[in-house]
Amino acid sequence: MSLFERVEIVAVIVQKFGGTSVANAGKIRQAAQRAVDAKRKGYDVVVVVSARGHKTDELVDLAAEITKTPRPREMDMLLSTGEQESVALMAMAVHELGEEAISLTGAQIGVLTDTTHTKARIVSISTQRMRELLSAGNIVIAAGFQGVDSNMNITTLGRGGSDTTATALAAVMNAELCEIYTDVEGVFTTDPRLVSSARKVERISYDEMLELASLGAGVMHSRSIEFAKKYRVHLRVRPSYSDGPGTLIAPEADGVTSIVSGVAFVRNEALISLVGLPDQPGVMSGLFTALSSAKIPVDMVVQNVAREGYANVSFTVAEDELPAAMKVVQVTAQSLGAQEVTTQTGLSKVSIVGHGMQSHTGVAARMFQVLAKHSINIKVVTTSEIKISVLIDRERCSDAVLAVHEGFELHQASAALPQVGYVATSRRNGASDASQAAVADDIVSRLEGMESILVSDVSADMNQSRVTLSNLPDESGIAEDIFTAIAEGGVLVDMIVQNVARDNRATISFTVPFGDLDRSLLLLREALERYEGSAVTSDRHIGMLTIAGIGLRSHTDVGRRVFRTLGDNGINVQMINTSEIKLSIVISASECDRALQLLRAEFGLT
């Protein structure tokens, strides 16, 4: 090709079909038809396919009949066959429709991963072979969920990992849109199987979706949303059985959004508490280093302010990960000098998510009111700017979700909510050499460390004060009382932390803007009179650090690096609160500037 030849850049579209959308020959044909339609509209089409129907589950069961402890390498070898079957059939179906198609395994594409079998992370993806096949007129049919490590061992990305493959391919191929075809209408305000009035949303931001996905909305693999956010991939989740437009997952829309976008829940949570940890620098670092090296995803990490020199830290893990987590925690707890480790099972987490709560007061109060009205006791609370999560008894999970969905009137679309649509249009314009080069550079830069942790910002807020209410009865309605009192005074509460009750007494801490502290204390006085023995303490000057980014939950390594940086530098952690998209830490105000510089340096932010 001559250097001056004008090359057409054709828009790439990625279409991903989940297991139910390729369950049988008829469905495979339908899926193939969609790919062919897109191709005939002028797109370069990359199709990503999951294993058919329940294939992956069947293979898992089959392995279990042979051994209780299959080696992870062989599991990957086995599970990857499900997708290999689908891609071949899909390619044949495209051929029957009169277009060219070529199926590729993860290894054939060049999806390079690390060596963590059964939950591998993508290191890089080569685009060359796909580009060549596309320009030769093929539809590329890529096997989802799989890759290959540097020793040519087949790896898989964790259950549901085809979404991640699709989004990652869309990122490296600079795709205009990544369509995720599935057996639902789109993203709902909550699980429609549980709440019949759940409503499909038109558009949702990456952050909202991340909070929802990791919290159990179950629509998409959360790592795929991380990719989408990191590389600004527009995702559209849509039904494979109709022409429904589905839900666009894209950057946050301008203008008014609803206060709460959705209610998510995770039914089977277990809580681990380390009680009586020495309140000194380095303790959290020890704990997170251990959890991170064991690759145990932890959630809802909470540490409330220490009392009498001892801190209590709690976090949740998926109930079935409890034995594995406890192995690590027992050893670590001992070496850190914890007095006791306790666990609780039979818990569920219910969360509300929405950008609106950043600017509206009383959202927490409303959630707590609704729960109190149904006599649901809150055991643990964590928050982020756009999320409030509570841990409750599992028996009350469904009640809580129903009540909260109704309490925020999520069955109705907010009148002010703009109906934003994303229309995929094929771009077919000639491009200059310069823009070609820019495109190539961009792609190369996207290949580097696809899944390396991205901490997008570390910031410090010195304008918050802490309020701690201790010795409260461990009953439903307490949080309601407190936050209703605060909300009535128009105070915008930021971080709320409630760790598990000890001896039936609960402690709740939260932060308020510095200038609102005195008013908040006044507002609380009356509420607290009702609770005998309760006490309030406050700290006018705290340093609140926020580590924002993506994947803070699934990448336990972020926690490890944050706490190691603070611990190695003798900075004591007073309070912790986590969500999928941020980690908030309270330290003493006098150390805030130094901590900020250290963390920014650690994550390469200048």
Please tell me the distance from the alpha carbon of residue 184 to that of residue 198, in angstroms, as a whole number.
12
Residue 200: alpha-carbon gap to chain centroid: 20
Comparing CB distances to ligand ASP, the nearer of 50 and 520 is: 50
Comparing CB distances to ligand ASP, the nearer of 15 and 162 is: 162
Give which of Mg ion, ligand ASP, none residue 110 binds (C-beta under 5 to 8 Å, depending on kind): none
N-term to C-term CA, the chain: 42
Comparing CB distances to ligand ASP, the nearer of 48 and 558 is: 48
Give which of Mg ion, ligand ASP, none residue 161 binds (C-beta under 5 to 8 Å, depending on kind): ligand ASP
Q: How far is the CB of 170 from Mg ion (least distance, A)?
A: 19
Which residue number is nearest to ligand ASP in terms of Cβ?
162
Q: Residues binding Mg ion: what is the number (CB under 5 A)? A: 2
Q: How far is the CB of 229 from ligand ASP (least distance, A)?
A: 19
Give which of Mg ion, ligand ASP, none residue 186 binds (C-beta under 5 to 8 Å, depending on kind): none
Stretch of residues binding Mg ion (CB under 5 A), selected from 45-53, 238-246, 510-518, 535-543: 45-53
Residues that bind ligand ASP (CB under 6 A): 18-19, 50-51, 56, 82, 144-145, 159-162
165 scored as a contact of Mg ion (CB under 5 A)? no
Please tell me the distance from the alpha carbon of residue 369 to that of residue 483, in angstroms, as a whole number.
9
Give which of ligand ASP, Mg ion, none residue 262 binds (C-beta under 5 to 8 Å, depending on kind): none
Burial of residue 349 (CB within 10 Å: 0-12, 13-18, 19+) is buried
Strand, coil or helix: what is 63?
helix
Give which of Mg ion, ligand ASP, none residue 354 binds (C-beta under 5 to 8 Å, depending on kind): none
Please tell me the distance from the alpha carbon of residue 232 to that of residue 28, in angstroms, as a whole number.
29
50 scored as a contact of Mg ion (CB under 5 A)? yes
Give which of ligand ASP, Mg ion, none residue 144 binds (C-beta under 5 to 8 Å, depending on kind): ligand ASP
19 scored as a contact of Mg ion (CB under 5 A)? yes
Please tell me the distance from the alpha carbon of residue 109 to that of residue 125, in angstroms, as a whole number.
7
Q: How far is the CB of 90 from ligand ASP (least distance, A)?
A: 14
Residue 488: alpha-carbon gap to chain centroid: 32
Place of tokens 């594409």: 109
Residue 158, phi-psi category: left (phi > 0), alpha (psi -120 to 50), beta (remainder): left
Strand residues in 354-398 grouped as ranges (E): 380-384, 387-393
Comparing CB distances to ligand ASP, the nearer of 224 and 511 is: 224
Comparing CB distances to Mg ion, the nearer of 51 and 270 is: 51
Comparing CB distances to ligand ASP, the nearer of 31 and 495 is: 31
Comparing CB distances to ligand ASP, the nearer of 160 and 407 is: 160
The 3-state secondary structure of 219-268 reads CCCHHHHHHHHHHCCCEEEEECCCCCCCEEEECCCCCCCCCCCEEEEEEE
Place of tokens 């580009």: 131
Q: How far is the CB of 448 from ligand ASP (least distance, A)?
A: 25
Which residue number is nearest to Mg ion in terms of Cβ?
19
Q: How far is the CB of 50 from ligand ASP (least distance, A)?
A: 3
Please tell me the distance from the alpha carbon of residue 379 to that of residue 53, in angstroms, as a whole number.
38
Please tell me the distance from the alpha carbon of residue 23 to that of residue 59, in angstroms, as a whole number.
15
- Residue of 476, 478, 344 whose CA lies nearest to 403: 476
Comparing CB distances to ligand ASP, the nearer of 160 and 281 is: 160
Q: How far is the CB of 19 from ligand ASP (least distance, A)?
A: 5
Stretch of residues binding Mg ion (CB under 5 A), selected from 17-25, 213-221, 234-242, 402-410: 17-25
Give which of Mg ion, ligand ASP, none residue 82 binds (C-beta under 5 to 8 Å, depending on kind): ligand ASP
Structure tokens at 330: 């027992």
Give which of Mg ion, ligand ASP, none residue 303 binds (C-beta under 5 to 8 Å, depending on kind): none
407 scored as a contact of Mg ion (CB under 5 A)? no
Comparing CB distances to Mg ion, the nearer of 50 and 507 is: 50
Handedness of CA 225, 229, 233, 239 (dihedral sign): positive
**Which residues does residue 278 pair with via DSSP β-bridges, in sequence order?**
310
User: Exposure pattern of 556-569 as b/e (b: 16+ CB <10 Å)?
Assistant: bbbbbbbbbbbbee
Give which of Mg ion, ligand ASP, none residue 543 binds (C-beta under 5 to 8 Å, depending on kind): none
Q: How far is the CB of 183 from Mg ion (least distance, A)?
A: 11
Q: How far is the CB of 144 from Mg ion (least distance, A)?
A: 9
Q: How far is the CB of 49 from Mg ion (least distance, A)?
A: 10
Q: How far is the CB of 76 from ligand ASP (least distance, A)?
A: 11
Give which of ligand ASP, Mg ion, none residue 145 binds (C-beta under 5 to 8 Å, depending on kind): ligand ASP
Q: How far is the CB of 231 from ligand ASP (least distance, A)?
A: 19
Give which of Mg ion, ligand ASP, none residue 289 binds (C-beta under 5 to 8 Å, depending on kind): none
Helices and strands (DSSP H and E) totals, the chain: 17, 28
**Which residues does residue 102 pair with via DSSP β-bridges, in sequence order?**
140
Q: How far is the CB of 311 from ligand ASP (least distance, A)?
A: 38
Residue-wise DSSP of 504-518 = TEEEEEEEEEGGGHH
Please tell me the distance from the alpha carbon of residue 391 to that of residue 479, in angstroms, as a whole number.
13
Please tell me the distance from the alpha carbon of residue 461 to that of residue 41, in angstroms, as a whole number.
51
Comparing CB distances to Mg ion, the nearer of 222 and 574 is: 222
Comparing CB distances to Mg ion, the nearer of 163 and 191 is: 163
In one-letter notation, the amino acid at residue 304 is N
The residues binding Mg ion (CB under 5 A) are: 19, 50
